[in-house]
Amino acid sequence: MLEVIFLGTGGIMPTRERNVPAIAIRYKGEILLFDVGEGTIRQMNTAKISPMKVEKIFITHFHGDHYLGLAALIQTMNLWNREKPLHIYGPKYTFEFVQNFLNSGFFRPGFEVHVHELGETRLKFGDYEVWSFKVEHGIPALGYVFKERDRRGKFVSEKLAQYGLKPGPILGKLEKEGKIEVNGKVIRLEDVTGPKRRGVKIAYTGDTEPAERVKLFSERADLLIHDATYLSAEDRGEGYHSTVGEACEIAKKARVKLLALFHRAFRYTYDEYLREAEAICREFGVNFVVPRDFDVLEYKAGNWQFKNLLEGAE
């Protein structure tokens, strides 16, 4: 199961309606955090996500609304007697800034914190990879791609019959070793399976102006979470952010399946922003959502299913 949980969807400063950026990807029991704005630990508690399941945190850049929740999160882990190491990834200066956090006040974690500074990097973790890529925000800043490894195709009964194979331990051996020998003939896994099944791909830009690197790294993504802070270039002014229209243009060019408009400026109400976004995205023919805090996108059978964790809760 794979879920994308939006813990904070606003930009710049928190409001009564929404918190600042934090996104959790739940994958096979693991939680990966992408950005950890102030108040993220409260959002995690509300969403019933245990900080003890977080082993990796990916920070896009060091503006306060994207990382100031890190100290509170680490201290909570420490109070809960965490023993497992925590890995924090980010752009240039990540080591310096995280060390400043860890050395502030009368507080040192009782578990290992490993800090990794990234450029454009491909990190491999078992059944998935995380790619980092440079974005345009006026300071060192990264976007990230979560890419599930492609899975083997299913066994095809007609192909199995051609080789005289039947379900049982021999197929388990073939799946594990990639090839077997039967009656002097070598049978490879690809000889008896269908086409590979493409693993899910999620791209997250963090804060950025429209950038060619975003289009390149989000090509054919199942989900693109793109900075769409402003409704218009006039609203943006000189800020290093994207508009809804610019995010839609990138999504269309990259042929993504679903666009999530993220980091909405606090000047807009949700209804106002959604109304304008619908008109803009319709022109581009882009399938989109405007996530609220605690919205969840669950990936099932090649499609996204949408829900909110708080709907129906007391």
Do the beta carbons of residue 139 and residue 62 sit within 8 Å?
A: yes
**Do the domain assignments include residue 313?**
no
Averaged pLDDT for residues 50-74:
95
- Least trusted range by pLDDT, from 20-29, 119-128, 237-246: 237-246
pLDDT for residue 312: 55
Query: Of residues 65, 222, 227, 293, which has the active-site annotation?
Result: 65
Residue 114 marked as a ligand binder: no
- Identify whether residues 37 and 100 lie together within a single domain: yes
What's the rounded Cα separation, in Å, for the pair 304 and 222?
9
Residue 65 annotated as catalytic = yes
Question: Is pLDDT above 90 for 61?
Answer: yes
Which of 191, 217, 241 corresponds to the end of one domain?
191
At 17, which CATH number? 3.60.15.10
Structure tokens at 251: 């999504």
Residue 116 marked as a ligand binder: no
What is the CB neighbour count within 10 angstroms for residue 29? 7
- Identify whether residues 82 and 176 lie together within a single domain: no
Residue 263 marked as a ligand binder: yes
- 223-227 β-sheet, strand order: 122-125, 128-134, 142-148, 201-204, 223-227, 259-262, 288-289
Query: Mind listing the pLDDT tens digit for each residue in 82-119?
Result: 999 999 999 999 999 999 888 888 778 899 999 999 99
User: Angle at the Cα of 32 (from 63 to 103), degrees rounded to 5?
Assistant: 50
Question: Is pLDDT above 50 for 146?
Answer: yes
- Identify whether residues 242 and 208 lie together within a single domain: yes
Residue 127 marked as a ligand binder: no
pTM of the predicted model, to two decimals?
A: 0.88
What's the rounded Cα separation, in Å, for the pair 166 and 182?
12
